[in-house]
Structure 1
């Protein structure tokens, strides 16, 4: 996967982002009779943590990176994408669907007041509750704020949700598309590092694989921004059939060489526009001069 990503970035734009069924259909048509799988740009980035409260003005230098993890945490398990506040003020990652108590906060300028919610909720439910009734799930920016939670004596010994989480599926080009097209029973999440391939023997549906597996891959390049039609006139063909396919192909090759010499890149595509009778060139009729 890393080799494919590097190649796509050097030669094109990046590994393919598949963000709609239209793109799925395009790739399936492109694959034709190819019936194996190929890398696309989706991968599981389990080391990217961020706060539910995303306003950058709330954080001072380095405060978004404050992380007093418990020893051995975060385990970065595929199903452990949310953060709990544990005994003694140490944190761990945990299954977001497990119901825990939670800590909300109210932001008043640069200060924060923390509130314990002693009702069990999943992390997503806790986030919604905190955003509705307070500011957000708690962001802890430094040791002093971490200690404030410890001092809520009722919390001691309990795991409670705070606002740190990770959305581990990432597109290589940074796209934030949430479109998914997994095959049945995917993702399996069995490998240590997981990357995604489109399986063209299964309608282009996605499967997760070890990132170190060697596979074909799909890049994408710049989207064409314009189309121009140029009329070509050829004089005195000297017996050459201007509509002969070999002659037409040779002219396109020469034209592309000339365009490249003028600084245009290889993404420029040239094609002949055929007339209704299937021919490209037609003999011009000589214009008759008006008699004086």
Structure 2
């Protein structure tokens, strides 16, 4: 029983996740053969870049002590502008830079010497937005990663800085000099890694093993997971066992806070919420194959009471881990 004092249901925040069921295929194949097998008999090689993904992989391994292919592979490593994915026709790379496919740095900055440098996309830096018609704005109050800067510029303006020639480069450089900024993101990047199922790659979320990817022999363009569930780059011609995705569902995770004037047990709360959510989902013409499940906490309970506030004796029942609505993707 959980005692509460006010009848209220509060939505604390939803988020969407793509969850997959995977199986281990104990056949030795190179990466391309593994991809073809999964696509013929199942869905695809798996995407592994969230904690839930890694948990599924560890479950599927079931203690197996060997390396196993997943769906990550190296792309052509071509530098392109974020703006309309335009080709790189003009460049101002510093003489000390190596913008070739060998470098793992996948995003570019312009420095106050007017030259471009390749660097890690997850660093926090000022950035330059492209306003269209060869006009630019420099942002220095908030430092962002390259991806965050791209999102900001696309929302507020057109895109991250698109530099099509010497005049554009000089204009951006003058902005840096005017505000004494050492370097700033421009809209130049390269996608070194892609997922077989075309999921968006989130570089900060990729769980690489220590020192990886290192492209040790210059030919390591595919990835496997090791016994710890971490990614390692390897020659695509090597043969390993592999995972296949057998089912993929889209999950909407919702966190709830509940207040009530009566004594309620968990089963009554869950039943009432499920009944209400089914009505809402049916009105929204959701796919009839959806299901509703609950996440339990480590103590086996779904809800937990919040601590009393000194000014308000209301106890709030909070569903920390989320309510799931699942249906076919």
Quote how far apart the aligned CAs of 1:47 are.
1.7
Q: Which residue does the alignment assign to 1:74?
A: 99
Q: Which structure's residues are more often strand, by fraction?
A: 2
Of structures 1 and 2, the larger Rg is shown by 1
Residues 222 and 74 from structure 1, CA distance in 2 versus in 1: closer, same or farther, beyond 3 angstroms?
A: same
Distance in 1 separating the partners of 2:157 and 2:106? 23
Q: Which runs of 5+ in 1 are unaligned?
A: 57-62, 224-292
Quote how far apart the aligned CAs of 1:154 are.
2.0
TM alignment of 1:47-196, pairs within 5 A? 47-53=77-83, 55=84, 63-68=86-91, 69-71=93-95, 72-74=97-99, 77-78=103-104, 80-87=105-112, 89-107=114-132, 111-119=133-141, 121-124=143-146, 125-131=148-154, 133-150=156-173, 152=175, 154=177, 158-176=182-200, 182=207, 186=210, 188-192=212-216, 193=220, 195-196=222-223
Residues 64 and 177 from structure 1, CA distance in 2 versus in 1: closer, same or farther, beyond 3 angstroms?
A: closer
The answer (yes or no) to whether the contact 1:66–1:140 under 8 Å persists in 2 is no
SS at match of 2:172: helix
Match of 2:68 among 13, 29, 38: 38
Distance in 2 separating the partners of 1:218 and 1:176? 21
SS at match of 1:217: strand
Q: Which runs of 5+ in 2 are unaligned?
A: 1-28, 248-329
The answer (yes or no) to whether the contact 2:112–2:182 under 8 Å persists in 1 is yes
Instruction: Tell me how many residue pairs correspond in the alignment.
Output: 205
Distance in 1 separating the partners of 2:37 and 2:184? 48
Quote how far apart the aligned CAs of 1:197 are.
1.5
RMSD (Å), alpha carbons: 4.2
Distance in 1 separating the partners of 2:181 and 2:55? 49
Match of 1:7 among 33, 38, 47: 33
- TM-score, structure 1 as length reference: 0.52
Residues 23 and 119 from structure 1, CA distance in 2 versus in 1: closer, same or farther, beyond 3 angstroms?
A: closer
- TM-score, structure 2 as length reference: 0.47
Residues 136 and 213 from structure 1, CA distance in 2 versus in 1: closer, same or farther, beyond 3 angstroms?
A: same
Quote how far apart the aligned CAs of 1:12 are.
5.6
Q: Which residue does the alignment assign to 1:198?
A: 225
The answer (yes or no) to whether the contact 1:194–1:209 under 8 Å persists in 2 is yes
Answer 1 or 2: higher relative contact order, Cα 8 Å, separation at least 6: 2
Distance in 2 separating the partners of 1:45 and 1:126? 23
